[in-house]
Copies of this chain bind each other. A is one copy, B any other.
Amino acid sequence: MKLSDGVEQAIHSITMLAGLSDEGVLSAAALAEFHGVSASYLLKHLQALSSAGILDAVPGPKGGYRLARSPGRITLLDIVLAVEGSGPAFRCKEIRRRGPNPLPARMFTTPCSINAAMLRAENAYRAELRRVSIADILSDLETFDDGTIAARSCLFFEAHERISGRKA
């Protein structure tokens, strides 16, 4: 089981976007440059985050991305599901129904205990990720930051933030 690299990139990008002014956006290219990652790969995930209602995509030559809602209302689970898809990690193919001598249909009225156990684990995983918001991550970062991280972001915003009008 492996999450795509897009999850880490999406979380860091959103953490960065949380620092923009109300009128500001950042382009996918700027976010990719800042994190030293592929712009086309990151763009795919920014688009997914936008489709999921986590980011606003502002079109046009001065366009870019910004948060669609406050950092306290974006959880790690929201981001993981937007990037990875919302299906469960374990997808039962009902192999009990295959083979030359499958079980009769009346045996499949309830999910099997294997699928149920795998889903309980998935729910525990999701519950933990739902507990942590981008506001929590930013708060941890502030505790830890001796000023270096904030200064680095400020310099980057000065060079790359685009002003695209206040949020609706």
- Give A contacts to B, CB under 8 Å: 1-3, 5, 7-9, 11-12, 15, 33-37, 76, 80, 84, 87, 89-93, 95-96, 98-104, 107, 110, 113-114, 117-118, 120-122, 124-129, 132, 136-137, 140-141, 144, 148-149, 152, 155-156
Partner of A35, one of B8, B95, B136, B137: B95
Q: A124 to B128, Cβ gap below 8 A? A: yes
Partner of A99, one of B7, B36, B95, B114: B36
Residues of B within 8 A of A152 (CB): 101, 103
The A interface, classified by DSSP as helix, strand, loop or mixed, is helix
Number of copies: 2
The 10 closest A-B pairs by CB, nearest first: A36-B98, A121-B128, A113-B140, A125-B125, A36-B99, A124-B124, A117-B132, A35-B95, A124-B128, A1-B89
Q: A35 to B125, Cβ gap below 8 A? A: no
16 contacts between A and B (CB under 8 A): A1-B80, A8-B90, A8-B93, A8-B114, A9-B95, A12-B95, A12-B96, A15-B114, A36-B99, A76-B117, A101-B155, A103-B152, A104-B148, A107-B144, A113-B137, A122-B125
